Structure 1
Amino acid sequence: MVHCDFAFSSLPFLEYVDLSLSQLSGTIPPEIGKIPPQISSLTKLETLNIFDNHLNGSIPTEIGKLVNLVEAYLENNQLTGHIPPEIGSLVTAKLFYAFSNKLSSSIPAEVGKMKSFENLSLQTNNLSGSILVTLGDLIELKVLYLYSNQLYGPIPSELGNLKNLTELSLHNNQLNGSISIALGDLNELKILYLYSNQLSGPLPSELGNLKNLTELDLSDNQLTGSIPITLADLIELKIMYLYSNQLSGPIPSELGNLKNLNELDLSDNQPIDSIPVTLGDLTELKILYLYSNQLSGHIPSELGNLKNLTKLDLSYNQLTSSIPITLGDLIEL
C-alpha cells in the first residue's frame, strides 16, 4: 500500500493520469486542480484514473478546475463526504465514475450543468435525498446508475427527457410514488431496473413503448393493478421480473408474443384466473416462476413446448387436475 502524496501542481501540462490498481492510500490531494499564480495546474487533464485503490477523504472541490476533463474514474475506493457542487464546472466531462465508495449526502443540483455527460455512475454509496429533476437536463446521457444508495422520493418525470438513455438502474433505494409514465418516452432504453424500492400504483401502459428493452425488473415493490397488455409489445425482452408486488388480474395471454424471453418471474403477486396456454410459445424460456399466486385451473400441456426450460415453479397456487404428460419432454428441467 502506497501513500498518495504527489506534487501535481508541478505537472501543469499533464493530460492523462492513471494511478489505478496501485494500492494507493490517503486522500486525493487538492492540488490536483489548484491554479497556481502563473500556470494553471492540470487544466489540460482529460482523463483521470485513480480507481481500485484505498483512497479516502473527500473529493476535493478543486476538481471543478479541471475544465478539460473528459473522463474521471474514482470508483472502488473509500472516498467519503459529499460530491462537491464544483463538479458542475466540468462541462466537457462525458464520463464520471464514483461508484463503490462511501460518498454521502445528496447529489448536487449542479450536476445538471454537465450537459456533455454520457455516463454517470454513482451506485453503491451512501447517497441520500431525492433524485434531482435537473438530471433531466443531461440530454446526452446514455447510462445512469444510482442504485444501492439511500435515495428516496419519487422518480422525476423529467427523466423522460433523456432520449439517448440506454440503461437506467435505480434499484435498491427507498424510492416511492408511482412509476412515471414519462419513462415510456425513453425509446432507446435497453435496461430498466427499479426493483427493491417502495414504488406503488399501477404499471404504466406506456412502458410498452420501450421497443428496445431487453431487461425489465420492477420486482420487490408495492405495485398494484393488472399487468398491462402493452408489455407484450416488448419483443426484444429477454428478462421480465415483476415478482413480489401486489399485481392482480389475469396474466395476459399476449405475453406469448415475447419470443425472445429467457426469464419470466411473476411470483408472489395476486393474479387470478388460469395459466395462459400461450406461455407455451415462449420457446427460448429458461426460467418460469409463477408460484405464490392465486392461479387456478389446470397446468397447460403447452408448457411441454418449452424445451429450454431449466427451472419451473408453479407451487402455492390453486391449480387442479393432473400434471400433463408433456412436462416429461422438458429434459433440461
Structure 2
Amino acid sequence: MELSYNQFIDSISITLGDLTELKFLYLYSNQLSGLIPSELGNLKNLTHLELSHNQLTGSISITLGDLTELKFLYLHSNQLSGPIPSELGNLKNLTDLELSNNQLSGSIPITLGDLTELKFLYLYSNQLSGPIPSELGNLKNLTGLDLSDNQLSGSILITLGDLPELKFLYLDSNQLSGPIPSELGNLKNLTHLELSHNQLTGSISITLGDLTELKFLYLHSNQLSGPIPSELGNLKNLTDLALYSNQLIGSIPITLGDLTELKILYIYSNQLSGPIPSELGNLKNLTHMELSHNQLIGSISITLGDLTELKFLYLYSNQLSGPIPSELGNLKNLTHMELSQ
C-alpha cells in the first residue's frame, strides 16, 4: 500500500492492522499525527514499513517487534519519544533501521546487536544517552552507522573495528570521551569518519593512515593532543581534513602535501609550531585552508601561490614573519584572505 507524499492528516487507522497479507506499507511524507497503532504488529507478512516525515508522537510500539519478516523500518523525522524497544532485536531479517530525527531517549538496546543482516543503522538527532553497546560489533554487514547528535557517553568501543563492511561512521556531537581506538584502522572500506564535537583525548592514532578509501576525516572540536601523524599522508582519496579546535602540537607534517585530492584543510586553533611546509603547494584542488590560531613561525611559503583553486586563506594569529609573497597574486579565485596578528 503506497499512500505517501499526500496531505493525509489525523492518526493512522487501527484497521490497517486487519490487512494481514500486506507486505508494503508506505505512509511517509504526510501530516499524520498521533500514535503508531499497536495493531500494526498483526501484519506478520510485512517486509517494508515506512512512516517517516510525519508528525507522529508517543513511543514506538513494542508490537513492531512481532514483524519478523520486516526488512525496512523507517520511522525517522517524526516526534516520537520514549525508549527504543528492545523487542526490535527480534527483527532478524531487518536490513535498514532508521529512527533518526525524533525525540527518543534512554540507552541504545543491546538487542540491536542481534540484527545481523542490518546494513544501515541511523539513530542520529535524538536524545539517546548512555554508552554505545559493544554488541553493535556483531553487525558484520553494516555499511552505515550514524549515532550523531545525541547524548551518548563513554568511550568509542574497539568492537566497532570489527565491522569490515562499514563505509560511514558518524559519532559526532555526543559526549564521548577517551582515546580514538587504534582498531578503527581495520575499517578498510571506510569513506566517512566523523568524530567531532566530543570530548575525545589522547593522540590521533597512526592506524587511521590505513584507511586508504577515506574521503572525509572530521576530528575537530575535541581535546586531542600530540602531533598530527605523518601517516595521514597515505589517505590519497581524502577531500576534507578537519582537525581544528584541539590541543595538537608539533609541526605540520610535510606528508599532507601528498593529499592531492584535498579540498578543505582546517587545522586552526591548536598549538602547532614550526614553518608552513612548502609541500602544501602540491594541493592543487584546495579551496579552503585555515591554519590560524597556532604558533607557526617562518615566512609564508611562495608555493601557496600555486593553489589556484583557493577561495579562503586564513593564516592569522600565528608568529609568521618576513614579506607577503607576491606569488599570492596568482590566487585569482581567492575571496577571503586574513594574515593579521
Same fold (TM over 0.5): yes
What does 1:175-214 align with in structure 2 at a 5 Å threshold? Answer: 175-214=152-191
How far did 1:22 drift? 1.3
Residue of 288, 291, 310 corresponding to 1:314: 291
Distance 1:303 1:127 in 2: 45
Question: Could you tell me which amino acid in structure 1 is paired with residue 95 of structure 2?
Answer: E
**Cα distance per residue 1:260-309 (max 9 Å; x no partner):** 00000000000100000000000000000000000000000000000000
How far did 1:177 drift? 0.2
Q: Secondary structure at the match of 1:26?
A: coil
Distance 2:51 2:73 in 1: 8
- Which residue matches 1:24? 8
**Cα distance per residue 1:102-134 (max 9 Å; x no partner):** 000000010000000000000000000000100
Residue 204 of structure 2 is aligned to residue 220 of structure 1? no
- Which residue matches 1:296? 273
Distance 1:288 1:221 in 2: 20
Distance 2:86 2:76 in 1: 18
Distance 2:103 2:215 in 1: 31
Residue of 43, 54, 57 corresponding to 1:77: 54
Q: Secondary structure at the match of 1:175?
A: strand
Distance 1:132 1:113 in 2: 12
Residue of 309, 313, 334 corresponding to 1:332: 309
Question: Could you tell me which amino acid in structure 1 is paired with residue 2 of structure 2?
Answer: D
- Which residue matches 1:7? none
- Which residue matches 1:52? 29
Distance 2:167 2:182 in 1: 17
Question: Could you tell me which amino acid in structure 1 is paired with residue 21 of structure 2?
Answer: K
- Which residue matches 1:272? 249
- Which residue matches 1:229? 206
Residue of 130, 144, 148 corresponding to 2:125: 148
Q: Secondary structure at the match of 1:272?
A: strand
Question: Could you tell me which amino acid in structure 2 is paired with residue 138 of structure 1?
Answer: L
> How high is the sequence identity, in percent, across the aligned residues?
66
How far did 1:27 drift? 0.3
Residue 116 of structure 2 is aligned to residue 139 of structure 1? yes
- Which residue matches 2:315? none
What does 1:241-260 align with in structure 2 at a 5 Å threshold? Answer: 241-260=218-237
Q: Secondary structure at the match of 2:185?
A: helix
- Which residue matches 2:318? none
Distance 2:20 2:208 in 1: 49
Question: Could you tell me which amino acid in structure 1 is paired with residue 297 of structure 2?
Answer: T
Question: Could you tell me which amino acid in structure 1 is paired with residue 110 of structure 2?
Answer: V
Distance 2:298 2:115 in 1: 55
User: Normalization by structure 1: what TM-score?
Assistant: 0.93
Question: Could you tell me which amino acid in structure 1 is paired with residue 76 of structure 2?
Answer: F
- Which residue matches 1:92? 69
Distance 2:266 2:170 in 1: 19
Q: Secondary structure at the match of 1:140?
A: coil
Question: Could you tell me which amino acid in structure 1 is paired with residue 81 of structure 2?
Answer: S
- Which residue matches 1:38? none
Query: What's the Cα RMSD here?
Result: 0.4
- Which residue matches 1:12? none
Distance 1:192 1:101 in 2: 23
Distance 2:184 2:144 in 1: 14
- Which residue matches 2:323? none
Distance 2:294 2:166 in 1: 34
